[in-house]
């Protein structure tokens, strides 16, 4: 059967309780989770950047990084060292407090969402019973960082980038939220672990057929837009606004923006995998016991990352194929197409649930 990580965590908890008072246990555990989370965060960031460079290179008939280490794998270490040692330039005339706080807000928002993701059974930092709602709440924090960063930089290009980003994220959050609600209605719970468990006899993408498919497509588009990824990367549109809201940042602060962008892409893909593709749940088909048992041999963590990286790859495919949209086209797409479709889809889903026309 699928291994339950909560056995490991509870035994660790018991071990600590036997040597420490409860308050200290809580503190030590929080610290452990923080360290594990940060490490995973950094490692994932590096993997994603490497993946982006390689995927982009192959789309563009290039080889990508291939000099430092085997297949260029050490390039990321070199880049990281470079970013860590670069000077933190603070231009004259910036709002020093907001300018310094903005990268942290962005990275914090990404980290908060990251904590709620279920990587495998029992393997998540915290399993809220309102998990989906929590994700919605914290992922909308990132726009605050973008707006502050753009505003505080005291540069006209960054202000335009920040304003674009503000309009974009606020708009697309509606579609993202509506697809969340559609899937929550189908699952009957907001708890992320509950949603995954409900897909034990088939992923929601298949069980919910038409409305789930519509919701999946809408979510892919809207979450790409919410993560400011191309073709929706208007906020940093390098051919128009140099680098958009983070033009004036350098060194580690820039690295934070950069890392957060990739992590947001990962988080978007991970949520899509959880809501539609069963998260860490192996591919199960109804009552095919033998088939399901074979699938269970592949560890859930492999399933989770496999699905997520597949979706990440799709997002990269978008970016390296499409030209960028214009701001009015971007808003038209959301307000005139995606949002009405999402509302209709929610209605459709409700009808289908009530009539029991799903698998």
Partner 1 sequence: MTDQALLDKVLAFAPGKVAVEEYVNTYPALRVEADALHDLARFLKENEETDFDYLMCLSGVDWGANLGVVYHLRSTRHGHVLVLKTQTPERITPTIDTISDLWVGAEFHEREVYDMFGIRFTNHPDMRRIFMSDKWMGFPLRKDYQASNPLHLETEGAYEDEGIRKLASGKGKDETFIINFGPQHPSTHGVLRLVITLEGENVDQVQPHCGYIHRGIEKMCEHLTYQQIVHLTDRMDYLSAHINNEAVCLCVEKALQVEVPLRAQYIRTIMDELTRVASHLLFWTSFGMDLGATTCFFYSMRERDHILDIFEETCGARLVLSYVCPGGVMYDLHPNFQRRVKDFIREMRRRLPEYHRLLSGNVIFQGRSRNIGVLSHENAVSFGVTGPSGRASGWHCDVRKQDPYHVYSQVDFQEAIRTEGDVFARYMLRMDELETSLNIIEQLIDQIPSGDYAAKMKPVIRVPEGEYYQRVETARGDLGVWLVSQGDKFPYRLKFRSPGFSTLAALPHLCHGFKIADLIAISGSLDFVIPDIDR
Min. distance of Cβ 62 from partner 1 in angstroms? 6
CB 193 within 8 A of CB 124: yes
Binding partner 1 (rule: CB under 8 A), the pick from 17, 60, 170, 302 is: 60
Angle at 90 between CA 87 and CA 93, to 5 degrees: 165
> Which stretch, 198-206, 215-223, 267-275, 320-328, contacts partner 1 (CB under 8 A)?
320-328
Number of residues that bind partner 1 (CB under 8 A): 27
Please provide the distance, in angstroms rounded to a whole number, between the alpha carbons at the two ends of the chain: 24
- 323 near partner 1, rule: CB under 8 A: yes
* 2 is an interface residue for partner 1 by CB under 8 A: no
* Residues 6 or more apart in contact with residue 86 via CB below 8 angstroms: 250, 251, 252
Q: Candidates 95-103, 172-180, 252-260, 325-333: pick the segment binding partner 1 (CB under 8 A).
A: 325-333
Q: How many CB atoms lie within 10 A of CB 340?
A: 11
Out of 217, 242, 301, 348, point to the residue binding partner 1 (CB under 8 A).
242
SS3 assignment, position 117 = coil
Nearer to partner 1, 62 or 82 (CB): 62
Cβ within 8 Å of residue 321, ≥6 positions away: 59
CA distance 194 to 184: 10
> Is there binding between residue 160 and partner 1 (CB under 8 A)?
yes
| The one among 111, 157, 245, 249 contacting partner 1 by CB under 8 A | 157
Residue 156 within binding range of partner 1, rule CB under 8 A? yes
Burial of 328 (0-12, 13-18, 19+ CB in 10 A): exposed
* Nearest to partner 1 of 32, 63 (CB atom): 63
**DSSP bridge pairs for 123:** 120
Nearer to partner 1, 204 or 254 (CB): 254
> How far is residue 56's CA from residue 149's CA, in Å, rounded to a whole number?
28
Closer to partner 1 by Cβ: residue 324 or 358: 324
User: Do residues 138 and 260 touch, judged by C-beta distance below 8 A?
Assistant: no
* Angle, CA of 303, 316 and 137, to the nearest 5°: 70
- Residue 82 in the binding site for partner 1 (CB under 8 A): no
Asked if 22 interacts with partner 1 (CB under 8 A), we say: no
Q: Does 259 bind partner 1 (CB under 8 A)?
A: no
With contacts defined by CB under 8 A, name the span among 210-218, 275-283, 301-309, 326-334 that binds partner 1: 326-334
Q: Give the nearer residue to partner 1 in terms of CB position, either 22 or 323.
A: 323
Distances (CA, A) of 60 to 74, 189, 233, 262: 22, 43, 19, 20
The contact set with partner 1 (CB under 8 A) reads 59-62, 156-157, 160, 164, 230-231, 233-234, 237-240, 242, 320-329
């Amino acid at each position: 059967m699928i291994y339950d990580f909560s056995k490991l965590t509870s035994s660790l908890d018991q071990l600590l309780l036997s040597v420490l008072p409860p308050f200290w246990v809580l503190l030590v555990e929080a610290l452990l989770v923080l360290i594990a989370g940060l490490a995973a965060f950094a490692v994932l960031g590096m993997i994603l950047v490497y993946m982006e460079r390689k995927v982009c290179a192959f789309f563009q008939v290039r080889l990508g990084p291939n000099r430092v280490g085997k297949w260029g794998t050490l390039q990321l270490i070199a880049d990281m060292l470079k970013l860590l040692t670069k000077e933190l330039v603070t231009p004259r005339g910036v709002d020093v407090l907001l300018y310094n706080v903005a990268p942290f807000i962005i990275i914090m928002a990404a980290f908060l969402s990251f904590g709620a993701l279920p990587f495998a059974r029992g393997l998540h930092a915290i399993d809220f019973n309102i998990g989906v709602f929590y994700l919605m709440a914290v992922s909308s924090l990132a726009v605050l960082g973008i707006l502050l960063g753009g505003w505080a930089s005291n540069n006209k290009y960054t202000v335009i980038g920040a304003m674009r980003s503000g309009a974009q994220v606020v708009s697309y959050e509606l579609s993202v939220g509506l697809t969340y609600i559609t899937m929550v209605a189908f699952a009957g719970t907001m708890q992320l672990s509950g949603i995954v468990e409900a897909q034990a006899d088939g992923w929601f993408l298949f069980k919910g057929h038409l409305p789930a498919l519509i919701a999946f497509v809408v979510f892919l588009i809207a979450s790409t837009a919410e993560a400011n990824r191309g073709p929706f990367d208007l906020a940093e549109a390098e051919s128009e606004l140099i680098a958009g809201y983070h033009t004036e940042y350098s060194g580690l602060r820039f690295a934070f923006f950069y890392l957060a962008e990739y992590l947001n892409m990962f988080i978007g893909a991970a949520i899509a995998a959880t809501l539609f593709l069963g998260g860490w749940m192996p591919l199960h088909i109804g009552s095919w016991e033998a088939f399901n048992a074979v699938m269970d041999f592949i560890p859930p963590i492999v399933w989770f990352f496999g699905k997520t990286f597949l979706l990440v790859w799709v997002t990269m495919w978008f970016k390296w194929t499409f030209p960028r949209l214009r701001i009015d086209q971007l808003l038209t797409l959301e307000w005139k197409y995606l949002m009405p479709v999402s509302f209709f889809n929610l209605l459709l889903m409700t009808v289908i649930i009530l009539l029991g026309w799903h698998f």
